[in-house]
Amino acid sequence: MSAELRREAGGTRRAGRPPAILHLDLDAFFASCEELRHPELRGRAVIVGGAHALRPGEQGPLGRAVVCAASYPARAFGVRSAMPLAEARRLCPASFVQPVDIEHYAEVSRSVFAVLATVTPLVEPASLDEAYLDITGSVRRFGPPEVIARDLRRAVWDRCRLRASVGVATTKVVAKVASRRCKPDGLLVVPPGTEARFLAPLPVGDLPGIGPRTAERLRQLRVATLGELARRPTASLTAALGPGAAGLAARAAGIDPTPVVLPGVPRSISREETYSADRRDADGLRQRCLALGAEVGRRLRARQLVARVVTLRIRYADFETVARHRTLPSPVDADRLIGETAAALLAATRVGGRAVRLLGVGVEQLAAAAQLDLFTAPSAAPSGLDRALDGLRQRFGPAAIRRGAEGAGPALDWNRDHLDPSAPPLPD
């Protein structure tokens, strides 16, 4: 991106030009990525989930796997994300099941974000398959917002063979609602000054940030549409919803001062795994803490980050979930320190006496390793062994070598840590 366009993008609001925000959302992204690799799946009912590929009529070990994504033909049968995979197969027996391959999806995502960067440097990733773009400063060069959005959709298709829905508005919240309303493969422009009128007839659940619980509370207040929410007195909303009610009502009117923000240091990094059969073996779970800690350490080093807090997350068979954390004397990125701290947290729980369904290890309070001072840097630096293992895996593949204590173990789940398109490829 040229320095001229960067200067223009940063100075447009001072020139009095109305903001122009795009929200681009790739349609059925995971399923579309599978169709790119398997053209025979195009137009079919495709479900992404689990660890095994299944064709219509084939049976396989589904366990506790859930649907991560579904093509639109599969959605027509009622298949939805987060649905148990076994239930999805019952609803759509003609479906093709493809196992999750996050690294492939991340690679495809990077190609899409490269296209977005040709329009504006102000791109805020929301996940692998969606982003906000501030194109206010691009209008002078590339034309009106609607033209930019149309050309961008065409470029994503021409270069990446992916369909995208795009909403155009003066604020992020309205642009996102617009992109949802025009799915799949659509374009919807909300002209400046019409934001409140556009949102007013929509149900409250269409507003980002309103989940089922908040929607139910609003229904109890007889607030069914965004227009009704925007007009409701702040005092009554605050009494029912808490201090965030005023901001919610403002967004329902299309008012959203939140700028498009370039990605920075993440708040946390974590890895977790869900077991196909509940586990009670305390020693085995301790080894899994070490393996998960090693995965987290590799992710920190890949991003040149260190962490001050180690977290442990356990979900028991009855779905009770507990979390523990420990603050370390100085920031770290070493596999052993993270894994052994998590194992110590594990020892303080009731593991062994209760069946465990899910185990996770994470880190918080992240900072750039390069910013550490002379006194904290030595304890945060990875050991020579960590660096050597990183190099071997980068050269020969993720399974090239492991510490003995890590063991082979089950495959690690993917989670939101994989969905950061601004991060370097992860050494899985």
**CATH classification of the domain holding 325:** 3.30.1490.100
The pLDDT value given to residue 411: 47
Task: For residues 181 and 276, state if they share a domain.
Answer: no
Q: Which of 34, 35, 130, 272 is catalytic?
A: 130
Please state whether beta strands 321-332 and 305-316 pair in parallel, antiparallel, or not at all (unpaired).
Answer: antiparallel
Q: What is the spatial distance between Cα 130 and Cα 162, in angstroms, rounded to a whole number?
A: 12
Task: For residues 36 and 183, state if they share a domain.
Answer: yes
φ/ψ of residue 318, rounded to 5: -90, 10
The pLDDT value given to residue 418: 54
- Least confident among 170-174, 214-218, 381-385: 381-385
The pLDDT value given to residue 52: 85
Task: For residues 124 and 18, state if they share a domain.
Answer: yes
- Least confident among 106-115, 221-230, 382-391: 382-391
Task: For residues 236 and 288, state if they share a domain.
Answer: no
Residue 53: which CATH number? 3.30.70.270
**165 contacts: CB under 8 Å, gap ≥ 6:** 24, 25, 27, 179, 180, 182, 183, 184, 185, 186, 187
The pLDDT value given to residue 8: 37
**Residue 425 binned pLDDT confidence (cut-offs 50, 70, 90):** very low
The pLDDT value given to residue 374: 41
Domain membership of residue 258 (yes or no) is no
Domain membership of residue 424 (yes or no) is no
Domain membership of residue 263 (yes or no) is no
Task: For residues 41 and 172, state if they share a domain.
Answer: yes
Task: For residues 3 and 22, state if they share a domain.
Answer: yes
User: Is pLDDT above 50 for 2?
Assistant: no
The pLDDT value given to residue 38: 95
- Least confident among 115-124, 301-310, 324-333, 396-405: 396-405
For 228-232, what is the mean pLDDT? Answer: 93
Domain membership of residue 238 (yes or no) is yes
- Nearest CA among 365, 415, 381, 364 for reference residue 304: 381
Residues 95 and 73 sit within 8 Å (Cβ to Cβ) = no
Q: Where does a domain end: 226, 252, 278?
A: 252
The pLDDT value given to residue 14: 41
**The total number of structural domains that make up the chain:** 3
The pLDDT value given to residue 274: 83
The pLDDT value given to residue 402: 56
User: Is pLDDT above 90 for 356?
Assistant: yes
User: Is pLDDT above 50 for 348?
Assistant: yes
Q: Where does a domain end: 140, 167, 192?
A: 192
Task: For residues 243 and 299, state if they share a domain.
Answer: no
195 an active-site residue? no
Model confidence over 266-299: pLDDT tens digits? 889 999 888 878 898 999 999 999 999 998 998 8
The pLDDT value given to residue 13: 46
Domain membership of residue 296 (yes or no) is yes
The pLDDT value given to residue 383: 57
**Residue 156 binned pLDDT confidence (cut-offs 50, 70, 90):** very high
Domain that holds residue 355: 268-419
% of the chain at pLDDT higher than 70: 82
Task: For residues 306 and 373, state if they share a domain.
Answer: yes
The pLDDT value given to residue 42: 94
- Least confident among 221-225, 277-281, 421-425: 421-425
**Residue 427 binned pLDDT confidence (cut-offs 50, 70, 90):** very low
Q: What is the spatial distance between Cα 199 and Cα 177, in angstroms, rounded to a whole number?
A: 8
Task: For residues 203 and 188, state if they share a domain.
Answer: no
Model confidence over 32-51: pLDDT tens digits? 999 999 999 999 999 999 88
Q: Where does a domain end: 175, 192, 209?
A: 192
Domain membership of residue 45 (yes or no) is yes
Task: For residues 114 and 4, state if they share a domain.
Answer: yes
Mean pLDDT of all residues belonging to the chain: 85
Q: What is the spatial distance between Cα 8 and Cα 137, in angstroms, rounded to a whole number?
A: 5
For 307-329, what is the mean pLDDT? Answer: 93
Task: For residues 84 and 121, state if they share a domain.
Answer: yes
Domain membership of residue 426 (yes or no) is no
Task: For residues 170 and 201, state if they share a domain.
Answer: no
Domain membership of residue 208 (yes or no) is yes
Model confidence over 116-135: pLDDT tens digits? 999 999 999 999 999 999 99
Residue 247: which CATH number? 1.10.150.20
